[in-house]
Amino acid sequence: MKISFLLHNAYGIGGTITTTFNLAQALAERHEVEIVSVLRHRERPNFTLDPKVSLTPLVDLRHEKEHPLHLRPARVFPVAEYRHHQYSELTDQRIGECLAAIDADVVIGTRPGLNVHLALQAPEHVVRIGQEHLTLGNHPPRLRTVLRRAYRRLDVLTAVTEADAAAYRRRMRLPGVRVEALPNSVPDPVLPAADGTARIVVAAGRLVPVKRYDLLIEAFALVAAEHPDWQLRIYGKGEEQDRLRQLIHRLGLYENVFLMGAAAPMEAEWVKGSIGAAASNFEPFGMTIVEAMRCGLPVVSTDCPYGPGEIIEDGVDGRLVPVGDRDALGAALLDLVRDDERRRRMGRTAMANARRFAPVPVVEHAERLMDEAMSARRTGRRTAPERGRIRNALVSQGFAARDTAHAAAARALRTVRRGQR
């Protein structure tokens, strides 16, 4: 089958980009796969993409940032979606044209605003799969209203945890839409696993407030006071960088805590450590947790909603501590720092337990979802609600479209505006 992913910006850095690349590359072993990147801001992606996966950008910001249509706000992409300010009438147009002409059997949206485009604009023959990489509870009420109406036109909706999938089933009321958990996958490691001897704790991700690297640094101060030969290495970039650097100096940790910048891929950095760490207030999945575990590191993490608790078995392959509790986080790190044998044993267990997030089981699950959705669409067991009523309403309101793409955009605009009132 041919599978297309609709992605915000394949040329950036982030968990959704990583997991999309991972899944696309694994699927490309048996299928024709492409990634459609709405935006592009640099020549090549930060992450290496397998040549078997084609990459097509729709709006190149290097040349089109001042395009007249890009200076006007998007009308299809939901206003309540936090990336709305990056979308425009130009992205509306390009996405609509792309979907109108698409020849894929399955199209997979990778964020709420793009799922709305997909649900409202994809042709009848296309199986529409919306991926949610954020939890339902993280969406503002106004956005949930829009999604509840648009998502009824999807065939499948996936969340990255069982807990969030259950929330979507319970609260969104999406008749006829299959809602399932599809965890992110991490490629099989190519380097030898960490052996647990290095005196290094490793953390990675965007340097943004929700990740609570400030809490991690403060917790690591407890480790450094007792074991000054240990280091904390934090990989990533973001708005918190200057504040975190100031915190490191204020605590006198400049010889123990290092902001390493971004690294892609991270595998070579994980295997240099002995413990992984995550201190987030909120983590829809926990991609870096899985990456660390697959490299043989036990991970100490806050037990935030929703991902860490479904990945880590407390006391077996890592530790879970209360959100925002600096002392508990520091104590859990110290437990592993002090006990070499326990740290190494938990690292080996982490590597074994994290195999469930390897590409093969995740891809097999994804393929089953796509095959069953295609079969349901062929046999007519899945119909798109309200399609005829929406089209008739548009005609009665005088909406004219010169081609299929603009007709799709008009249908989407009418539905989204209704949901945003």
pLDDT in tens, 164-222: 999 999 999 999 999 999 998 888 899 999 999 999 999 999 999 999 999 999 999 99
204 and 337 inside one domain: yes
Q: How far is CA 384 from CA 108, 152, 265, in A?
A: 17, 8, 40
Q: Confirm whether 192 is domain-assigned.
A: no
Structure confidence by residue, pLDDT tens digits, 260-294: 999 878 999 999 999 999 999 998 899 999 999 99
328 and 409 inside one domain: no
Question: What integer pLDDT is reported at residue 46 of this predicted model?
Answer: 87
The 3-state DSSP class for residue 124 equals coil
Last residue of a domain, one of 356, 380, 406: 356
For 407, phi and psi rounded to 5 degrees?
-65, -45
Helices 359-378 and 15-27 pack at an angle, to 10 degrees, of: 70
Q: Is the pTM of this model over 0.85?
A: no
Residue 129 in this model has a pLDDT that exceeds 70: yes
User: ∠318-132-162 over CA atoms, to 5°?
Assistant: 50
Domain that holds residue 139: 2-185+360-419
Task: For residue 100, give the nearest of 77, 120, 72 by alpha carbon.
Answer: 120
Q: Confirm whether 190 is domain-assigned.
A: no
Q: Tell me how many domains the chain contains.
A: 2
CB atoms inside a 10 Å sphere around CB 36: 22
CB 117 within 8 A of CB 142: no
177 and 211 inside one domain: no
Helices 112-121 and 141-150 pack at an angle, to 10 degrees, of: 30
Q: Confirm whether 401 is domain-assigned.
A: yes
In angstroms, the CA 187 to CA 183 distance is 13
Last residue of a domain, one of 321, 356, 391: 356
